C-alpha cells in the first residue's frame, strides 16, 4: 500500500524507515516535510494511507483529492483537524494516538506553573539583559498547600494529579464522567466545575477540543475563578476565549496564565503567510491581535504548542502510528477515531 507521511523531519523519516524495514508491513512510503492542507497538496495523490500531524487540515477538499484513500492516521491525540464525517462518507478509517504523552504533557504543565510561580523567565531575562542579580520584584509563591483544580481526568489529567501530590498540593478535579474510584487511588476529590473554579489557586485544562469544550473558559467562567488565580492551558487554544482571558488578566481578576496553545496559533506563528496569502475570512483577526497582547504580558508565559515535544514522546507517536497502520492491514483496527 502507498502511504504518504506529512510534516516529517529527517530524524523521523530515518526512524520510520528503520522500523518499517523490520516490520511485516508491505508499504510504499513517501515522506513530505510540508504539512497537508488544501493549499499544500502533493503532486502525487495516489496514496491509500496518509499520516498527518496536528498542523495539517484534512477537510473535505483534501480527502477528495486522494481518490484511493482508505486510511487517515493522525499522529496526535487530538483529531479535530480531520473531517470525520467526510471520511465516514467515503468509508475511510481514521486512527489516532491515544496515550503517547500523558506524562510528557503533565510534566510540561508544571514547567509552566513553576515558571509563573517563581518568576523564572523574568529572573533569567533580568540577568541576561542587565547583569543584575537583584531579587527585587522576583518574589514568588510556594506550590505546597495551594489548591490546584484539574479539569479533565484522562491520561494527562491523572499524571498531573500525581505530580501535584508530589508538590504537596491540595488537588481537586472536575470531569464530565468522574471515576469516583480514582479519588482514593490518586488522593484527590471530584467537585463541580463551578466549585473548582471558585476554590482553585491554579486551574489546569486537560480536555479535548470538541463542541462542548469550545470556549469552556469564557467571560462568565473566568469571572468565577478565585481572584489572583492562575490558568494553565496545554490542551487546545479554542478551549479558552482569548478576548475574555485578556480582559481577566488586564483587570487583575487572574494572577497570570501559562499557555502552550492559543486560538489562531497557526496564524500567530506565521503572520507573513497570513498577510501575503492568507484568507482573512477564515481567521479571527481580533484573536490574532489579542494573542500578541498575551505574549507581551509580564504575568503570562506563552510557548509554541511544545508540551508534547520530547524525544521519547515523539518516538511513541511513531511507534503507535506504525501499529495503527499494521492493525488496518490485518483487518483488526485499533485506536479508531470516532
Q: 155, 206, 305, 316: which is the annotated catalytic residue?
A: 305
Sheet holding 2-5, edge to edge: 28-31, 2-5, 49-52, 71-74, 93-95
DSSP 8-state assignment for residue 12: H
CA angle at 324 for the pair 321 and 327, rounded to the nearest 5°: 150
Give the three-class secondary structure for 78.
Answer: coil
> In terms of residues, how long is the chain?
338
Give the three-class secondary structure for 127.
Answer: helix
Q: What is the torsional sign of CA 310, 314, 315, 319?
A: positive
C-alpha separations of 26 from 15, 31, 335 in Å: 17, 16, 20
**Could you give the CA distance from residue 154 to residue 175 in angstroms, rounded to a whole number?**
9
Q: Answer yes or no: 271 catalytic.
A: no
Q: What is the torsional sign of CA 73, 77, 82, 83?
A: positive
DSSP 8-state assignment for residue 80: T
Q: Which three cell numbers stand for residue 274?
A: 497570513
CA angle at 161 for the pair 154 and 205, rounded to the nearest 5°: 60
Q: 75, 81, 155, 236: which is the annotated catalytic residue?
A: 236
Q: Answer yes or no: 236 catalytic.
A: yes
Question: Which residues pair with residue 233 across a beta bridge?
Answer: 205, 259
**Could you give the CA distance from residue 310 to residue 324 in angstroms, rounded to a whole number?**
21
Q: Answer yes or no: 316 catalytic.
A: no
Q: 102, 264, 265, 290: which is the annotated catalytic residue?
A: 265
From the CB of residue 316, how many other CB atoms can be counted at a distance below 10 Å? 18
Give the three-class secondary structure for 215.
Answer: coil
Q: Are 189 and 173 in contact (CB under 8 A)?
A: yes
* Residues belonging to the active site: 236, 265, 305
Amino acid at each position: 500500500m502507498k502511504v504518504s507521511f506529512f510534516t516529517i523531519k529527517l530524524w523521523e523519516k530515518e526512524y520510520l524507515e528503520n522500523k518499517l524495514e523490520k516490520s511485516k508491513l508491505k508499504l510504499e512510503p513517501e515522506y513530505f516535510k510540508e504539512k497537508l492542507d488544501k493549499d499544500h497538496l502533493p503532486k502525487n495523490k495516489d496514496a491509500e494511507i496518509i499520516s498527518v500531524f496536528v498542523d495539517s487540515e484534512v477537510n473535505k477538499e483534501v480527502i477528495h483529492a486522494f481518490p484511493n484513500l482508505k486510511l487517515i492516521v493522525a499522529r496526535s491525540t487530538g483529531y479535530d483537524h480531520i473531517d470525520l464525517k467526510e471520511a465516514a462518507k467515503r468509508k475511510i478509517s481514521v486512527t489516532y494516538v491515544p496515550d503517547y504523552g500523558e506524562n510528557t504533557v503533565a510534566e510540561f504543565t508544571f514547567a509552566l506553573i513553576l515558571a509563573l510561580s517563581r518568576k523564572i523567565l523574568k529572573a533569567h531575562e533580568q540577568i541576561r539583559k542587565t547583569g543584575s542579580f537583584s531579587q527585587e520584584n522576583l518574589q514568588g509563591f510556594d506550590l505546597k498547600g495551594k489548591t490546584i483544580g484539574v479539569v479533565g481526568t484522562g491520561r494527562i489529567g491523572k499524571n498531573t494529579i500525581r505530580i501535584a501530590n508530589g508538590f504537596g498540593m491540595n488537588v481537586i478535579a472536575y470531569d464530565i464522567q468522574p471515576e469516583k474510584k480514582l479519588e482514593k487511588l490518586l488522593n484527590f476529590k471530584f467537585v463541580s466545575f463551578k466549585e473548582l473554579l471558585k476554590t482553585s489557586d491554579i486551574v489546569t485544562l486537560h480536555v479535548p477540543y470538541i463542541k462542548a469544550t469550545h470556549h469552556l473558559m469564557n467571560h462568565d467562567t473566568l469571572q468565577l475563578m478565585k481572584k489572583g488565580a492562575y490558568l494553565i492551558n496545554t490542551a487546545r487554544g479554542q478551549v479558552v476565549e482569548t478576548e475574555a482571558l485578556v480582559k481577566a488578566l488586564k483587570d487583575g481578576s487572574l494572577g497570570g496564565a501559562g499557555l502552550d496553545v492559543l486560538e489562531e496559533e497557526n496564524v500567530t506563528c506565521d503572520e507573513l503567510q497570513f498577510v501575503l496569502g492568507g484568507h482573512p475570512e477564515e481567521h479571527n483577526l481580533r484573536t490574532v491581535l489579542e494573542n500578541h497582547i498575551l505574549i507581551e504580558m509580564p504575568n503570562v508565559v506563552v510557548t509554541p504548542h511544545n508540551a508534547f515535544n520530547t524525544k521519547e514522546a515523539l518516538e511513541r507517536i511513531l511507534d503507535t502510528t506504525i501499529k495503527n497502520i499494521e492493525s488496518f492491514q490485518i483487518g483488526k483496527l485499533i485506536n479508531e477515531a470516532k
